[in-house]
A and B are shown apart, each in its own frame.
Chain A
Amino acid sequence: MQPILAYILRLRLNAFARSLRSLTGRDPFGLALALGAILGCAVFFARNIHRVEMIIMIPMLHLALVNFIHGMRKDADFLAGLGVSRRLLFLWEYSVLAVPAVCLLAFSAYPQAMVLPVVLSAIIASTPPFAWSHRRLTPSRQKAFFSSQKTLLHALRKFFTWLVPSLAFEWWGGLRQRRLALFILWTGAFLLAWQPLLLSAILFFLVITPIEFYGTGEHRSMVQALYRSPSQFLRLKVSQGFCGYAVLLTPPVMLGMVHYILRNLPSVSANTLSAQVPLFLASVVASLAVSFILASLCVVAKYAFYVEGMSFMFAVSSMVTLTLATLWHPYISIIGLSVSFSILIPKAVKRLRILFS
């Protein structure tokens, strides 16, 4: 490895350690969350590591993490100025991030799946982050890219404005930045519709989407521009988030349901169908309800930790991990979410009150 690559990697690890130290050292709530998340993860993986779902879930978690980091990268020009190979650096960084996933998969039912996180890291590292991808296109392709983007974006924007005539700028920004990820989500949800893994996969993506959209803390002046009382402001943001979330994610779920029903119709008798379809619908509704609650949690957590992005990510990831970990025990999930809301909502209102004062 080139010395400068090793140095940058070391800097990144140091920075991560500093973030963790400041997060747990300053805020007892952050410390409790960190311990809870570690405990939740340990219990979850210890109990479920041999399940087949883990072979999909662990690489997907890794993919989501890496994709999130990759999409936010702003160091392209800086690295170019230093004469560092960006792809090589990304590959090293993401491979280091893959170590926990690789270790977990080593204990799974199919240790061969260890290679998946590494391969996914390499794929993500080889693609340009979307924000600067247009610079790599040839002039003719650049022209085609811009015109196609314009048409598609205009159509999407028109549709979105019609459905969400509001100031939900997280969703505007998220839609612009993550449309490729959303396209993959929609296609994936459709293709997975016949799989037994459907629910966990959809739930996972439904949770990841709002986290990604709400990941960026808007500038304080933007929050103040939407001046309301803290509680009103929070209600407004939750409803906007809820609305944007429903608009974007209901179509793939519906598509998946239709696909599932069409696929199963010929193979089952009328009796089994009447028993199977309501069960399927009930589980879809349940998973949608959980993900809607988690989406609201994202909004509340954002303002509870405003504008510390790292704390926000950590809090929401902890909640999601705990929810997923206790998915097989609905009462624990409900208690966990209720406790989270009862802590986070007053915290968010308090933080907003300081902003508005």
Chain B
Amino acid sequence: MLELQNLHISYGAHTVFASVNATFREGAVHGIVGSNGKGKTTFLKALAGMIVVQSGEMLLGGASLNTRDCALLEIEPFFYPRITGAEYLRLFQFNNPDFTGVDWNRLFALPLDDEIATYSAGMKKKLALLGIIGLKPRVMLLDEPLNSLDFDTSYLLMDTLRLLAAHGTTVLLSSHIVEPLTSVCDTITWIAGEQDVQCFERPEFPTLAQKLRPGGHEEQIALVKQLLGHHRSDGGMEE
């Protein structure tokens, strides 16, 4: 079990999490959702040890979480400039000698001999994903993994994550949208505020979207209409 107890994280005066508690089963896929700026990335980075946690405990299997057990896929993965895909994957082999990038690349068929700079955004994301898989972590943290992936690859990734979970990996993935997570996740955690973190189990998924978004956007839509009307009366948008 991955347990977070009384987690407190802040950036200077701005508190992101205050006394947050959450538990995640091992060997399962967990979704993290929340509005922009609510702390999804901060949450994942804190688990990966990339952000200072002011107070609280992070436990994995009852022992203090070792950041070496976690691997994080960032929204925009980092690549050294002017290196090839094969050279990048070779980096992960130092941590896991059993990892063979060429074999795993049969999943995505990336041109590993080309420089990464020539890859599209989706190809870069796939390459970074292969690297993370190569690390073979106990806890896999994926920040917006579906961004820039095509339709087919998104489904492939979902199925791969399920298989990884079946092999004992705990997967946490964040998303802005709930719908894609419902097919793959065992639980979905909603970050609503600095102290308000709610966890939903699979039986609750069908009504989840409605729970998270009880009201519409009537006020905002009225504002857009008003602004559009204002522009029209001015003779068009400013260039």
**In the assembled complex, which residues on chain A have CB atoms less than 8 Å from the CB atom of B10?**
139
Interface positions of B (Cβ within 8 A of A): 10-13, 45, 48-52, 54, 67-68, 71-72, 74, 77-78, 80-83, 87, 90-92, 94-95, 115, 135
CB interface residues, A 112-157, toward B, < 8 Å: 134-139, 142-143, 145-147
Contact check, A146 vs B11: say whether CB atoms are below 8 A apart. yes
A112–B51 Cα distance when bound, in Å, is 42
Q: Which residues from chain B contact A3 at a C-beta distance below 8 Å?
A: 94
Q: By the criterion CB–CB under 8 Å, are A15 and B81 in contact?
A: yes
Q: Is the CB of A75 within 8 A of B80?
A: yes
Query: Is the CB–CB distance between A145 and B91 below 8 Å?
Result: no
In the complex the two chains form, is A81's CB within 8 Å of B71's CB? Answer: yes
Report B-chain residues with C-beta under 8 Å of the C-beta of A8: 80, 91
> A residues within 8 A CB of B52?
135-139, 142
Q: Which residue of B lies closest to A227 (CB)?
A: B239
0 or 1 for each of A6-33: is its CB under 8 Å from B? (1 = yes): 0110011011001100000000000000
Given A75-B78, A75-B80, A134-B11, 19 extra CB contacts under 8 A: A4-B91, A4-B95, A7-B94, A11-B83, A12-B80, A15-B80, A15-B83, A19-B82, A77-B72, A78-B77, A81-B48, A81-B72, A81-B135, A82-B94, A82-B135, A83-B68, A146-B12, A147-B12, A147-B13
Task: Indicate which residue in B78, B83, B87, B91 contacts A77 across the interface (CB closer than 8 Å).
Answer: B78
Q: Answer whether A82 and B83 are a contact pair too, CB < 8 Å, given A75-B78, A137-B52.
A: no
Q: Which residue of B lies closest to A136 (CB)?
A: B52
Distance A124 CA – B209 CA, assembled complex (angstroms):
50
Q: Across the interface, which residues of A come within 8 angstroms of B115, CB to CB?
A: 18
Bound Cα distance A8, B78 (Å): 14
Check A7 against B90 for contact (C-beta < 8 Å).
yes
* B-side contacts of A18, CB under 8 Å: 82, 115
Pairs A-B, 5 closest by C-beta atoms: A146-B12, A15-B82, A4-B94, A78-B78, A139-B54
Q: How long is the Cα–Cα vector from A96 to B45 in the complex, in angstroms? A: 32
Q: A137 CA to B92 CA in the complex, in Å? A: 29
Roughly how many angstroms separate A77 CA and B132 CA in the complex, as a whole number? 13
Cβ contacts under 8 Å, B12 to chain A: 142-143, 145-147
* Given A11-B87, A135-B52, A146-B12; A82-B95 close (CB under 8 Å): yes
- Chain A residue with the shortest CB-CB distance to B239: A227
Q: Give A96 to B39 CA distance when docked, in angstroms.
A: 40
Contacting residues, chain B, for A145 (C-beta < 8 A): 12
Measured CA separation A51–B52 after assembly (Å): 49
Q: What secondary structure prevails in chain B residues at the interface with A?
A: loop
**Could you tell me the distance in whole angstroms from the C-beta of B7 to the nearest C-beta in chain A?**
13
Quick check: is A80 within 8 A (CB to CB) of the other chain?
Answer: yes
A315–B206 Cα distance when bound, in Å, is 60
Known: A18-B115, A77-B78. A146 touches B13 (CB 8 A): yes
Q: Is residue A228 contacting chain B, with contact meaning CB distance below 8 A?
A: no
How many angstroms from the CA of A136 to the CA of B12 in the assembled complex? Answer: 13
Chain A residue nearest to B14 in the complex (CB) = A146
Q: Bound complex: CA of A82 vs CA of B95, how far in Å?
A: 7
User: Which residues of chain A come closer than 8 Å to B78, judged between CB atoms?
Assistant: 74-75, 77-78
Q: Complex formed: what's the CA distance from A214 to B174 in Å?
A: 36
Instruction: Give Cα A14–Cα B83 distance, bound, in whole angstroms.
Output: 8
Min distance, Cβ A72 to any Cβ of chain B, angstroms = 11
Task: Please provide the chain A residues from 52 to 107 with a CB less than 8 Å away from any CB of chain B in the complex.
Answer: 74-75, 77-78, 80-83
Query: A7 to B91, alpha carbons, bound, how many Å?
Result: 8
Q: How far is the CA of A74 from the CA of B76 in the complex (A)?
A: 11
For the complex, what is the distance from the CA of A138 to the CA of B52, rounded to whole Å? 8
- Collect the chain B residues with CB atoms within 8 Å of residue A19's CB: 81-82
CB neighbours of A146 from chain B (8 A): 11-13
Let me know if A82 and B80 touch, CB within 8 A.
Answer: no
In angstroms, Cα B12 to Cα A52, docked, is 47
A residues less than 8 Å from B135 (CB atoms): 81-82
For residue B71, which residues in chain A have a CB less than 8 angstroms away from its CB? 81
Q: Which residues of B contact A4 (CB under 8 A)?
A: 91, 94-95
Cβ contacts under 8 Å, B68 to chain A: 83
